[in-house]
Every structure is written in C-alpha cells, then in structure tokens.
Amino acid sequence: MTSFETWIVIIGLTAITYLTRGFFLLMGTRVELSPTIQKSLRYAPAAALVAVIVPEIFFPPGSAEMELNNPQLWGGIASILGFLATKSMVFTIISGMVVYTGARFI
C-alpha cells in the first residue's frame, strides 16, 4: 500500500467515525428520540461489555470450544458469585482475580 493510499484510508476512516459517532450531535435538536428508544439505549453499555467479556470467558484464545480447565471461566464464575453475595464491585473484581490467578497455577 502506497503512502497516498494509506492517507486516503486514514481520512476515510476518520470521516466515517466522525459521522457515525457524532450523528446525533450533528443533527442537534432536529432529531428527537422517542422515550422508548432513550430507555433502551441505557442498556447499550452493558450489552457491549457482555459482548466483549463473554466470549473471552467461555472460549479461551485459540479454542472454539468451552473447556473446564479454562482459568477465565473459573474467574468469571467467582466474580458472578462474589457480586451476587455482596453487591460490591471491589469484592467482585478481587474474588474473580484471586480465583483466576489460582486457577492459572493449578
């Protein structure tokens, strides 16, 4: 790829990113979202987080199958149980990391 093509790609990706992420800001008050859509968009960050974390927990890198000897799986289970027991985010992170680290060495 030549340097000219590289710059075209960079400029194109910048424009696409700017338009897609700033669409609602660029339109201003001319576009009003219904209350139902606004309420639904509150769940978007949680859904995105789940979409990133779940494949990493259940399917270890380099494998297309769920394995019981996967330390990420045990850390994820410990995190879920820790959160359900305490509702504390700090305890959730600590319990998941302690179990994950222990499972890596077993």
pLDDT in tens, 11-26: 999 999 988 888 777 7
52 and 100 share a domain? yes
21 and 57 share a domain? no
28 and 69 share a domain? no
Give pTM, 2 decimals: 0.59
Q: What's 40-82 look like in SS3?
A: HHCCHHHHHHHHHHHHHHHCCCCCCCCCCCCHHHHHHHHHHHH
- Per-residue confidence (pLDDT) for residue 29, from 0 to 100: 67
Kindly report which listed range (5-14, 29-38, 47-56) carries the lowest average pLDDT score.
29-38
**Nearest-angstrom CA–CA distance, 10 and 8:** 5
Does residue 92 sit within a domain?
A: yes
- Per-residue confidence (pLDDT) for residue 77, from 0 to 100: 93
Does residue 37 sit within a domain?
A: no
27 and 46 share a domain? no
Amino acid identity of residue 74, one-letter, is W
